[in-house]
């Protein structure tokens, strides 16, 4: 791991019992506030997929930030995957389970059929959010060129639910 990535990883804070008891929340805001750390993690998120995607899709909310930075770094556009009720004209919706509840994501159908999408989110835990993101991208006729996350929480089954993906950091 490069010194920049090691430093970026050290900036991720662990907050116990947030948003509810038993959940260990990973706060990436200190990483995002550091230009060198953000640049290094953005490069690491897209590097394995260079040249294989036309657009970056990010899952609300922190996935937006990372995907937006990745889209700029790669010279491509950004497509949001939003929580239910946040888009003025959703084209598709997918319900999914979280480790502490359920949710729905929505996405517009503004892209040409077959668009190659790099799907980015901040955390892979149980895999529900990313599985819903992949499902909605495919439902709209786009191709998932890859999935990349900032970090994976090992032992929660996310990798088994998602399959092949790129992870910058691992967390116990």
Contact in structure between 38 and 165 (CB atoms under 8 Å): no
For residue 101, count other CB atoms closer than 10 A to its CB: 9
Q: Is 55 helix (H, G, I), strand (E, B) or coil?
A: strand
Distances (CA, A) of 11 to 33, 36, 52, 136, 166: 10, 11, 30, 32, 20
Residues 6+ positions from 31 with CB-CB distance below 8 Å: 8, 11, 12, 37, 38, 41
Q: Is 132 helix (H, G, I), strand (E, B) or coil?
A: helix
Catalytic annotation, residues: 62, 99
Contact in structure between 103 and 96 (CB atoms under 8 Å): yes
């Amino acid at each position: 791991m490069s010194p920049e990535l090691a430093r970026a990883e050290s900036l991720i804070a662990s907050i116990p019992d947030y948003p509810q008891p038993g959940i260990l929340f990973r706060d990436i805001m200190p990483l995002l506030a550091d230009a060198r750390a953000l640049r290094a993690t953005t490069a690491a998120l897209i590097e394995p997929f260079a040249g294989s995607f036309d657009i970056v899709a990010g899952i609300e909310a922190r996935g937006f930030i990372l995907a937006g930075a990745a889209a700029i770094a790669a010279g491509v556009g950004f497509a949001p995957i939003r929580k239910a009720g946040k888009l003025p004209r959703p084209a598709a919706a997918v319900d999914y389970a979280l480790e502490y509840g359920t949710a729905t994501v929505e996405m517009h159908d503004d892209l040409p059929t077959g668009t190659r999408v790099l799907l980015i989110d901040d955390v892979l835990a149980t895999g529900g959010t990313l599985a819903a993101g992949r499902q909605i991208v495919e439902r709209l006729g786009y191709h998932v060129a890859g999935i990349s996350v900032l970090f994976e929480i090992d032992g929660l089954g996310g990798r088994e639910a998602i399959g092949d993906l790129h992870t910058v950091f691992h967390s116990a």
